[in-house]
């Protein structure tokens, strides 16, 4: 059974789902008119969840020109990191600093708000 949106046959408004309670079964109902459509079959929706690919904070080209600063890496405690500042929240909030460890064996990314 494929899941499709259900619309009221009387007024063409999208039906809302009402959960079962007491002796009443789960049903679709129209919020604008008295139309009700009981659900007599079990609704099952199966899907495969795919993890979102996380993009690195710094691209390979960003590192060629990124400035370095004194910062302690949370992973390896190396004392130097590349950094970049960006405004990711509203204008009245402070900028967010993004860091990438300069240690070739670590290259850990972190941020400070």
CATH number corresponding to 1-47:
2.20.25.10
Q: What pLDDT, on a 0 to 100 scale, did the predictor assign at position 75? A: 95
User: How confident is the model over 32-82, as pLDDT tens digits?
Assistant: 999 998 888 776 778 888 888 877 666 666 666 789 999 999 999 999 998
pLDDT bucket at 2, cuts 50 / 70 / 90 = very low
User: Does 37 count as an annotated binding residue?
Assistant: no
Please report, rounded to a whole number, the percentage of residues in the chain having pLDDT higher than 70: 87
Please report, rounded to a whole number, the percentage of residues in the chain having pLDDT higher than 90: 28
User: Does 33 count as an annotated binding residue?
Assistant: yes
User: Does 30 count as an annotated binding residue?
Assistant: yes
* H or E element at residue 82: strand 80-86
76: three-class secondary structure by DSSP:
coil
Tell me the domain boundaries of the chain.
Answer: 1-47, 62-112
CATH value of 62-112 in 3.50.50.60, 2.20.25.10, 2.40.128.20, 3.40.190.10: 2.20.25.10
Q: What is the mean pLDDT of residues 73-96?
A: 90
Do 28 and 6 meet the contact criterion of CB atoms below 8 Å apart? yes
pLDDT bucket at 1, cuts 50 / 70 / 90 = very low
User: Does 102 count as an annotated binding residue?
Assistant: no
Do 19 and 25 meet the contact criterion of CB atoms below 8 Å apart? no
């Amino acid at each position: 059974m494929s899941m499709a949106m259900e619309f009221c046959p009387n007024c063409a408004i999208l039906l809302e789902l009402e959960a079962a309670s007491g002796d009443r079964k789960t049903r679709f109902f129209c919020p604008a008119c008295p139309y009700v459509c009981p659900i007599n079959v079990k609704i099952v929706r199966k899907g495969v969840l795919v993890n979102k690919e996380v993009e690195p904070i710094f691209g390979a080209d960003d590192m060629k020109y990124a400035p370095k600063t004194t910062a302690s890496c949370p992973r390896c405690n190396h004392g130097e990191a590349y950094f970049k500042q960006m405004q990711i929240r509203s204008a009245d909030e402070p900028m967010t600093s993004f860091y990438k460890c300069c240690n070739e064996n670590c290259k850990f990314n972190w941020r400070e708000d």
